[in-house]
Structure 1
Amino acid sequence: MKNKFVGLILLPFFLSSCSKDVYLFSSFHEPANEGLRFLYSYDGYKWTDLNRTFLKPEIGNQKVMRDPSIAQGKDGTFHLVWTSRWRDDKGFGYASSKDLIHWSPERFIPVMEHEPTTVNVWAPELFYDDQANEFVIIWASTIPGRFERGEEEEKNNHRMYYTTTKDFQTFAPTKLFLDPKFSVIDAVIIKRNASDYVLVLKDNTRPERNIKVAFGTKPTGPFTNVSKAFTEKFTEGPSVAKVGDDWLIYFDSYQAKTYDAVRTRDFKTFTDVKSYISVPEGHKHGTIFRAKKKILNGLLKGNPEGMKGL
């Protein structure tokens, strides 16, 4: 039985190592002023830091880059959004790249300017809707006095908002994405099939401060049936990777100062796999996405010319 159990544990590693793609994990280090970093993995469990930055933040009042989220479009372009300031910015940063090395000029996307009392725009997250051929961007903002609250201060009572875009030039009007009747941040959209989506989110209320899931039939929601927490308190920043038949949900256990993960197949039962993962010290959360090995080879060499012939 022991050998059979070990085989089951190692199977996802074998399946992933045979893939033509690799896993990349966008990252930043505190105090978030140096810019975009990456981890990479061949199996989705063991991560290596590229140990350099690839884009220095130049926009926003504070000129920082937190929570970098990346998604790739149909044409192969990588799109990046990030938190540009803790407070007062009413939008987020944006840039694009073909190789993750050379980036377009940075732009500030003012998605909450129509709400003058907005306190913040936190953790924008990209999702590419391949059915509609458009990107859904979700983020957390506080508008004091707008929603019911519990023990939180009025300026820490978040709800999720969203916009959509096909070209990152024009954006649909901002709308409310999620009001679960509690303060919510750090949400990630997961597609299981054409009419089955999961939202991984942080319940940011004072009694909770942990991670849960909700369910919907479209990437723009509505998302309902919020689960019980599957992490301890003081966890945030979920990032999700599909490895074989499993989903790995990574998260920052910020009070314990560790990076942990659980594994699930149905988003109802969750298995702690922190003893099987390895995340470099200093990594702060972004998103996990797949990329061709030639992209990683270019990052490793620090020169896109290194990708030729691969």
Structure 2
Amino acid sequence: MKHTIKHIFLLMAAAVMLASCKTGRSVYVSTSFHEPADSGLRFIYSKDGYHWNDLNHIFLKPEAGKAKIMRDPSITRGKDGIFRLVWTTGWKGDQGIGYASSPDLIHWSAQQHIDVMSYEPTTVNAWAPEIFYDDEQDRFIIVWASCIPGRFPKGQEDADNNHRLYYTITKDFKTFSPTKLFLDPGFSVIDAEIVKRGKGDYVLVMKDNTRPNRNILVAFANNPIGPYHDYTSRFTEKFSEGPSAIKVGNNWLIYYDSYDLKRYGAISTPDFKTFTNISDSVSVPKGHKHGTLFKITPKELNQLLKATPK
């Protein structure tokens, strides 16, 4: 009997250790850039999802596009384990986006400038591309904001600042589906990120870019390309942008750039229906500008740390 009890306790201890190992198997990372956005790709990381550290190193210097800048870097990883990165390459007069890939976030492919909007010659820009891996159909969906002057009714925005969302789909980054309208919510919208909660359950986190608002809301769909519906109220302060969401424990954390307050903000939500501002409970390195949140293994973080000059 004593041996049986001892065996049970050993099994219980092993289970606790296994659970601890499982909870420690992911590290949170966010792509990042610093103004004026000409230096390149940065990363910040966190082991708890709330307190962040800056690697303080440029991992990819922008070469795509005429302006040679990198804003709004967005990253995802497909079933092949390769990281795929897209970014904004120009403020105005640029109808394409940047693209590069990496097996380890350290060594990067040659950069491409993907022409996504030249089929509409009056297009002003291609802002904040967000890349989403659709694991149910093994494809990559890229969503960005563009303004085609006069195409949609405008509010108080200038004609060249009235944005809607567009998208293209690719499986191999060699051929791309024709660009299509992704979302017209009836107002100027930018900075949209697709979040998958479960099979057939998607959330779109976005910025209402109208002059009275300029803050964050979400909508819902049963397909990553929509249609999206049931728009929530705006739940951040005005002058908020660049939202990115990730699940930490039982809650989703939505980080965003509160550019008027000159700080990084965070919202906690268990269900994307109730929202709690936890900006005072997080710490984000100074100078960090919005990117995409994702997870890597501790081993991959160690590789990044080793690749970072002391």
TM-score above 0.5, yes or no: yes
Q: Does the residue aligned with 2:281 lie in a helix, a strand or coil? A: coil
5+ long unaligned stretches in structure 1: 1-13, 304-310
Aligned residue identity for 2:298: K
Using the alignment, how far apart are the partners of 2:173 and 2:227 within structure 1? 24
Q: Does the residue aligned with 2:166 lie in a helix, a strand or coil? A: strand
Using the alignment, how far apart are the partners of 1:17 and 1:208 within structure 2? 41
Deviation at 1:17, TM superposition (A): 8.9
- Is 1:137 the equivalent of 2:142? yes
Using the alignment, how far apart are the partners of 1:16 and 1:63 within structure 2? 42
The equivalent of 2:6 in structure 1 is none
Matched ranges for 1:234-253 at <5 A: 234-253=239-258
Aligned residue identity for 1:155: D
Cα gap change, 1:16 to 1:262, in 2 (>3 Å): farther
Quick one: which of 188, 208, 214 aligns to 1:209? 214
Aligned residue identity for 1:258: R
Using the alignment, how far apart are the partners of 1:71 and 1:277 within structure 2? 24
Aligned residue identity for 2:188: S
- Is 1:20 the equivalent of 2:34? no
Quick one: which of 211, 214, 235 aligns to 1:230? 235
The equivalent of 2:295 in structure 1 is 290
Quick one: which of 34, 40, 53 aligns to 2:39? 34
Quick one: which of 113, 118, 139 aligns to 1:113? 118
CA offsets, 1:129-156, max 9 Å, x none?
A: 0000001100000001100110100100
Aligned residue identity for 2:242: G
Q: Does the residue aligned with 1:79 lie in a helix, a strand or coil? A: strand
Q: Structure 2-normalised TM-score?
A: 0.92
- Is 1:72 the equivalent of 2:87? no
CA offsets, 1:257-310, max 9 Å, x none?
A: 01010100111110111122110000000000011212111110007xxxxxxx
Using the alignment, how far apart are the partners of 2:20 and 2:65 within structure 1? 42
- Is 1:281 the equivalent of 2:281? no
Using the alignment, how far apart are the partners of 1:17 and 1:207 within structure 2? 45
Cα gap change, 1:209 to 1:77, in 2 (>3 Å): same
Conserved in 2, the CA contact under 8 Å of 1:46 and 1:279?
A: yes
Aligned residue identity for 1:277: V
The equivalent of 2:104 in structure 1 is 99
Aligned residue identity for 2:101: S
- Is 1:195 the equivalent of 2:200? yes
5+ long unaligned stretches in structure 2: 1-18
Matched ranges for 1:51-66 at <5 A: 51-66=56-71
The equivalent of 1:175 in structure 2 is 180
Using the alignment, how far apart are the partners of 2:101 and 2:303 within structure 1? 16
Using the alignment, how far apart are the partners of 2:89 and 2:153 within structure 1? 27
Cα gap change, 1:15 to 1:201, in 2 (>3 Å): farther
Q: Does the residue aligned with 1:295 lie in a helix, a strand or coil? A: helix
CA offsets, 1:241-268, max 9 Å, x none?
A: 1101110000111011010101001111
Using the alignment, how far apart are the partners of 1:85 and 1:236 within structure 2? 18
Conserved in 2, the CA contact under 8 Å of 1:17 and 1:42?
A: no
Aligned residue identity for 1:106: Q
CA offsets, 1:53-86, max 9 Å, x none?
A: 0000011010000000000010100000000000
Conserved in 2, the CA contact under 8 Å of 1:29 and 1:283?
A: yes
Aligned residue identity for 2:267: V
- Is 1:81 the equivalent of 2:86? yes
> Higher Cα Rg: structure 1 or 2?
2
Give identity over the alignment, percent: 62
Conserved in 2, the CA contact under 8 Å of 1:198 and 1:214?
A: yes
